[in-house]
Amino acid sequence: MDTHSRRKHHQTENNSDGAGPVPEPDPALAGITVQKDPAEETVRFFLADEKATENFGKLLGSLAADGDVYCLSGDLGAGKTLLSKGVCQAVGVEEEDVVSPTFSLMNIYNGKVMEVRHFDLYRLNSLEELADIGFYEYVGGEGVSLVEWGELFTSELPPEYLQVNLSIVPEGRIAELIPFGPRYEAISKEVLRHVDAGA
């Protein structure tokens, strides 16, 4: 054993301090950190870069089941569509198939795991238009529904859903999860558990 490897070995022993080896961070969660505030009910995550936003979406997608609804809010460029791409990839949609529904208003993706119904309500002006794009038939039905700008039609949203608020900060993005209903409280806790465990 040369001096270098002996030193490494020695350091490993020192670091273990009886608690076992320090787990390697999960590369799929790199750049995602929890911002806990015990005074608040909601959980915030800091997303350091574009990849972190996409991976946060993948994590949400991996936890989704048929009928789940995620509403994505935040200014233009906050990352709603990028996060949606992550969700889509997690349920087996080819990344290049996913495009912003800004003009189409709704896109449907046939993922290998489940369907994704991806809405952007920004350009809609009335409940008639909402009905016309099939919002009432599609949201909460089979597959997972992603609703960008759902806050423009809060009265039309299902009673239970996960609200994801994205905000732009100079260093990256903040994602806040606000669960409505027990199903989404469970998902929020799972997200927190994964990010905590991967940190």
The residue ranges that bind ligand ADP (CB under 6 A) are 47, 49-50, 52-53, 74, 76-82, 100, 172-173
Shortest separation between residue 11's beta carbon and ligand ADP, angstroms:
33
Output b/e per residue, 75-90; b: 16+ Cβ within 10 A: eeebbbbbbbbbbbbb
Task: Considering the complex, state which of residue 80 and residue 117 has its C-beta at the smaller distance from ligand ADP.
Answer: 80
Task: Considering the complex, state which of residue 19 and residue 76 has its C-beta at the smaller distance from ligand ADP.
Answer: 76
What size, in residues, is the chain? 199
Dist. CA 144–CA 147, nearest whole Å: 10
- Please name the helix (run of DSSP H) or strand (run of DSSP E) that holds residue 168, with its range, or none: strand 161-169
Task: Considering the complex, state which of residue 183 and residue 194 has its C-beta at the smaller distance from ligand ADP.
Answer: 194
Shortest separation between residue 57's beta carbon and ligand ADP, angstroms:
10
Shortest separation between residue 193's beta carbon and ligand ADP, angstroms:
21
| Beta carbons of 63 and 155 less than 8 angstroms apart | no
Shortest separation between residue 2's beta carbon and ligand ADP, angstroms:
42
Residue 19 contact among Mg ion, ligand ADP, none, beta carbon within 5 to 8 Å by kind: none
Output b/e per residue, 123-161; b: 16+ Cβ within 10 A: ebeeeeebeebebeebbbeebbbbbbbbeebeeebbebb
Task: Considering the complex, state which of residue 30 and residue 133 has its C-beta at the smaller distance from ligand ADP.
Answer: 30
Dist. CA 42–CA 40, nearest whole Å: 6
Shortest separation between residue 118's beta carbon and Mg ion, angstroms:
10
Interacting stretch for Mg ion, rule CB under 5 A, among 10-18, 53-61, 96-104, 184-192?
Answer: 96-104
Q: What share of the chain is helix, strand, coil (3-state, %, to 5)?
A: 40, 25, 35
Task: Considering the complex, state which of residue 64 and residue 82 has its C-beta at the smaller distance from ligand ADP.
Answer: 82
Dist. CA 61–CA 191, nearest whole Å: 10
The reply on whether position 80 binds Mg ion by CB under 5 A is: yes
Q: Using only C-alpha atoms, what is the Rg of the chain? A: 20
The reply on whether position 100 binds Mg ion by CB under 5 A is: yes
Which residues bind to Mg ion, rule: CB under 5 A?
80-81, 100
